């Protein structure tokens, strides 16, 4: 039955969209029809702009594809705070201005307790909700992280729940009042929708708590009472909002949404004014070593191969491998035994008491970039499908609703099942989908792509030398995009303090087309590209970068390897934390970019001029964005194609950039007076400010203003000369 907001009263006066005489079905009655669930991740929960993390807004065709894949319930992670006047008021209350880009509210508390959600945003969310319900599916609409306005504030007093952000002084009474204000508006807006719309009061409360020498900040009973207060504000606000909200099914989360903390929620489950039967509980399921871990540690290894499909040649990465006993623990997190036990405990703890459970997020990354042996890679891919099937099977058996996590990404490490970023809605992971469908009695006969994935990622046997061939292909013609080649550093490779710089040997070409087909949308009349070396260090993953192709005016050569040396003093900000580097890599930025680059190695340069291999690409590093890569044998010529086109010329003289809150000023030198253009773009390709002007001969300055925060590309072009620099907007 559809919500009245879009579809009208289906049955007139007797519609269940009216609560005058009828209550909605109880939560337990929804479990079977809801079936298995899907997350529209990295979209509606993105603070301020749902397209900022690379995904388009959901379309009717995408929703139909989710339905056709066998899912009957969709979770919409959603932002509310950053679409309300609370954002501007918090900044102003803490010494900023409403139009600047300093997130000062993250570091301090403000007294503003009655935020108003933007009406246009409510309408946008409604459009997505209506498309899902229009396909006969159920919707779980939640309040996601959204700058941590609630998630990072499950305490009273002063603390530092976000690494690197500084202390936060929180009043739980203020946060509770905001929770009530948000949910009063949301519930009122959707009050006439029937049981197909469910509300969830949070996402992963406390998950960003800091790690210290003694582990993660404790989530004790005192904090549980604070969280319970937030849930009570959520429940009471919805129940008092009228319409079908009186008996709408509501969902509350275990602390950090961890299964280990489910007993704490069970023992402190909030009281519902509607009476028993209209609530659900939520946990998430990412067994870390199998689902998320990307580097082996001394305490444990990554799990690549699932139970029953273990590798005989890479045993230390088998599911449940214990580094202390050098044997497999069949009760380890993620194993079939552990899943069966944990899901059974959830059933006893909640479901048997009339409180169904949703696994609001679950998944495991695809490790096509880490496993170079073809046989082992196929075992890994088969095992992932087995894992998803095991979770779905046990969820269904215990009356639990599982929701797979999907971010839309299609690169190595993704959890995506249905594509959406290219405007096509095909099945990216048919083997995982088959396993999920079979667990729910569906066909499960999607054509497997295991063999093609193995072939794409197979490493050559030639031992004469290997490199990584990276292919770049932008997806749009009217905005900048980023292709990333990243090396995750672990063990002995984490200390870069012994070096004074980095040496990279590579060859190739990238082509930039022009004019842009969408010049009116802000890309200008030209294509452009630039390359940066980056690294991330320390517990806060501090970011440092330096230009590569600008060094000594060296362009890539299509057929001959060239060596590029980037010293620490070439970096825009002197790197810190070199003794604890987490990752190093290359970012190629540009508009309308196509081409290939072969990289032989990345070395560290020592003070005496000698070098030492950091990575020679015997194993493929991870790629993201517009970049895809594979390990190749390096032949004598290494010719990568006769149709090579040199990258556009990047000015060798420096552009000086000054970044202030809400403003970026670029100073550069022009050889003559002529029209010029300055453009500021975020890493997802949106033009966030631009200015056409006439540059004078000699020194020039141009100022751009924006309230955007985070990494961006600054481009200044005059004729055939252009300056490109990455900036971090404050």
pLDDT greater than 60 at residue 213 = no
pLDDT in tens, 270-289: 999 999 999 999 999 999 99
Q: How far apart are CA 632 and CA 446, in angstroms?
A: 31
- Residue 18's pLDDT is 38
Helix residue spans in 364-511 (DSSP H): 374-397, 430-439, 450-457
**Cα–Cα nearest to 356, from 258, 274, 436, 252:** 252
pLDDT in tens, 50-66: 998 889 999 999 999 99
pLDDT confidence tier of residue 2, bands split at 50, 70 and 90: very low
Q: How far apart are CA 89 and CA 111, in angstroms?
A: 9
pLDDT in tens, 542-565: 889 888 875 544 577 777 888 889
Q: How far apart are CA 602 and CA 177, in angstroms?
A: 53
pLDDT confidence tier of residue 644, bands split at 50, 70 and 90: very low
Q: What value, to the nearest 5°, has the Cα angle with vertex 415 and ends 258 and 44?
A: 75
- Residue 648's pLDDT is 34
pLDDT greater than 80 at residue 7 = no
Instruction: Say which range, 439-448, 502-511, 720-729, has the weakest mean pLDDT.
Output: 720-729
Instruction: Say which range, 322-336, 379-393, 514-528, 692-706, has the weakest mean pLDDT.
Output: 514-528
Q: What percent of the chain has pLDDT over 90?
A: 48
- Residue 187's pLDDT is 98
pLDDT confidence tier of residue 485, bands split at 50, 70 and 90: confident
pLDDT greater than 50 at residue 96 = yes
Which uninterrupted H or E stretch holds 288?
helix 288-291
| Cβ-contact 599, 486 below 8 angstroms | no
Mean pLDDT of 111-129: 94
- Residue-range domains of the chain with CATH: 460-633 (2.60.120), 656-729 (2.60.40.3080)
- Residue 34's pLDDT is 98
pLDDT greater than 70 at residue 645 = no
- Residue 460's pLDDT is 63
Instruction: Say which range, 250-264, 377-391, 481-495, has the weakest mean pLDDT.
Output: 481-495
Burial pattern 96-125, b for ≥16 Cβ within 10 A else e, equals beeebbbbbbbeebbebbebebeeebbeeb
pLDDT greater than 60 at residue 640 = no
**Cα–Cα nearest to 76, from 285, 361, 357:** 361
């Amino acid at each position: 039955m559809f919500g009245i907001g879009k579809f009208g009263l289906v049955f007139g006066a007797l519609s269940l969209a009216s609560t005058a005489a009828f209550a909605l079905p109880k939560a337990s009655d929804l479990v079977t029809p809801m079936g298995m669930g899907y997350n529209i991740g990295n979209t509606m929960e993105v603070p301020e702009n749902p397209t900022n993390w690379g995904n388009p807004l959901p379309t009717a065709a995408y929703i139909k594809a989710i339905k056709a894949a066998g899912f009957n319930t969709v979770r919409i992670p959603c932002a509310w705070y950053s679409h309300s006047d609370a954002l501007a008021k918090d900044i102003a209350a803490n010494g900023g201005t409403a139009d600047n880009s300093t997130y000062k509210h993250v570091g301090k508390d403000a007294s503003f307790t009655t935020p108003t959600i933007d009406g246009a945003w409510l309408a946008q969310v409604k459009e997505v909700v209506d498309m899902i319900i229009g396909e006969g599916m159920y919707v779980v609409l939640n309040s996601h992280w959204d700058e941590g306005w609630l998630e990072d504030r499950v305490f009273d007093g002063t603390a530092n729940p976000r690494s690197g952000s500084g202390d936060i002084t929180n009043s739980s009474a203020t946060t509770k009042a905001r929770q009530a204000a948000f949910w009063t508006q949301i519930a009122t807006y959707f009050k006439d929708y029937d049981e197909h719309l469910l509300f969830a009061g949070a996402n992963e409360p406390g998950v960003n708590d800091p790690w210290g020498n003694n582990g993660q900040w404790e989530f004790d009973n005192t904090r549980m009472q604070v969280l319970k207060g937030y849930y009570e504000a959520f429940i009471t606000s919805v129940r008092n909002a009228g319409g079908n909200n009186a008996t709408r099914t509501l969902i509350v989360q275990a602390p950090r949404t961890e299964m280990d903390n489910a007993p704490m929620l069970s023992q402190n489950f909030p009281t519902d004014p509607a009476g028993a039967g209209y609530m659900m509980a939520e946990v998430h399921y990412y067994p870390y070593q199998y689902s998320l871990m990307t580097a082996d540690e001394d305490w444990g290894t990554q799990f690549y191969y699932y139970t029953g499909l273990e590798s005989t040649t890479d045993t230390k990465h088998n599911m449940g491998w214990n580094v202390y006993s050098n044997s497999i623990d069949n009760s380890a997190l993620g194993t079939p035994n552990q899943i069966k036990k944990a899901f059974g405990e959830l059933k006893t703890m909640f479901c048997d008491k009339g409180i169904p459970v949703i696994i609001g997020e679950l998944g495991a990354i695809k490790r096509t970039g880490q496993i170079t042996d073809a046989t082992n890679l196929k075992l890994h891919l088969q095992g992932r499908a087995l894992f998803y099937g095991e979770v779905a099977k046990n969820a269904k058996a215990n009356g639990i609703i599982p929701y797979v996590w999907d971010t839309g990404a299609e690169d190595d490490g993704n959890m995506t099942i249905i594509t959406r970023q290219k405007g096509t809605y095909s099945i990216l992971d048919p083997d995982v989908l088959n396993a999920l469908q079979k667990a729910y009695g569906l066909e499960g006969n999607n054509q497997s792509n295991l063999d093609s994935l193995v072939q794409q990622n197979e490493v050559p046997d030639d031992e004469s030398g290997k490199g990584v061939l990276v292919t770049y292909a932008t997806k749009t013609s009217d905005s900048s995009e980023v292709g990333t080649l990243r090396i995750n550093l672990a063990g002995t490779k984490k200390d870069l303090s012994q070096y004074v710089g980095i040496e990279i040997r590579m060859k190739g070409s990238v082509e930039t087309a022009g004019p842009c087909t969408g010049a009116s949308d802000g890309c200008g009349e030209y294509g452009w590209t630039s390359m940066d070396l980056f690294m991330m260090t320390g517990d806060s993953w501090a970011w440092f970068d330096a230009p590569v192709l600008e060094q000594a005016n060296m362009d890539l050569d299509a057929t001959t390897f060239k060596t590029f040396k980037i010293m620490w003093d070439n970096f825009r900000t002197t790197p810190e934390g070199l003794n604890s580097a987490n990752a190093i890599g290359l970012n190629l930025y540009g508009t309308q970019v196509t081409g290939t680059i072969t990289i032989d190695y990345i070395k560290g340069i020592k003070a005496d001029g000698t070098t030492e291999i950091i990575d020679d690409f015997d194993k493929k590093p991870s790629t993201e964005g517009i970049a895809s890569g594979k390990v190749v044998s390096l032949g004598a010529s290494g010719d990568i194609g006769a149709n090579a086109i040199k990258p556009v010329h990047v000015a060798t003289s420096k552009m000086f950039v000054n970044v202030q809150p809400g403003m970026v000023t670029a100073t550069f030198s022009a050889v003559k007076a002529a029209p010029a253009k300055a453009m500021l773009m975020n890493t997802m390709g949106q033009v966030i400010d631009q200015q056409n002007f006439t540059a004078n001969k000699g020194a020039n300055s141009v100022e751009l203003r924006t309230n955007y925060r985070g990494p961006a590309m600054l481009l200044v072009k005059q004729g055939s000369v252009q300056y490109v620099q990455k900036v971090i907007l404050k």
